[in-house]
Amino acid sequence: MHRQVIFLIIVLLSNVVQCITGFAGTVLAMPFSIMAVGYAVAKPILNVLGLAASFAIAVPNYKQVNYKELAKMLGGMLAGMVIGVLINRHFSLSDDEALICRILGVLVILFAIYNAVRHFRKTDDKKLPAVVNLFVLVSAGTVHGIFVCGGPLLVTYASSKMTDKDEFRSTVSASWILLNGLIALWDYRAGYFTPPTVRLTLISIAVLAAALLIGKIIYKKLNKEVFLILTYVLMLISGISLLAK
């Protein structure tokens, strides 16, 4: 029971950060969640939470969705997700949490370093060739298919195509509705949604709602840059912790 309480605290804190910074919620939550409740419990629940949050953002703002870019994002990421699911099944990653931890640890560290450099140097991604953008989308889908945290890579692509913040936020959220919905179906067929996991999922959704409310309040009062720095530091710590697990 105490592990589930720890998991709910992780859900709360990571989604407060997500609401404030606009990214990194699942990437931040997944490493600590695996250590708290295991991959087979953490993956389906965090995926459902991502799906719920995306509905809350995209549906009310559907007019701001860039459907042309949404189609491109879905095409590339769906191809990558198929690869991710096949990798998971072929190598039985869900049965080898030590391997899961090492792979995710490396990815989280790379995400943290790349996004920190990109943010603070104001890197311009608009000059990336089309083949590189395609590679980024497929890679994002592959990572998402295994860990449901392909967001940092998708943000790399989306930020190079959409400059309006509302359009960007709505379009990215709309993509997660389909992608996370498909993963939820795969997780259901794989037997991840056991009765205890379903109960914990429902509780987590209530915690998610509280986190979004708290995040909005904090966002209005505190410096976003401070939270971005905190997010990158926490991502590094979580990645290193996974490698040492």
Query: Over the stretch 73-107, which tens digit does the pLDDT of each residue have?
Result: 999 999 999 998 888 777 766 567 677 778 888 88
Assess contact for 81 and 144: CB atoms under 8 A.
Answer: yes
Q: Which residue has the higher pLDDT, 111 or 45?
A: 45
d(CA 146, CA 136): 16
Give 122's pLDDT tier (boundaries 50, 70, 90).
low
- Residue with structure tokens 């795969």? 186
Token pair of 95 as six digits:
């049965």
The whole-model pTM stands at 0.85
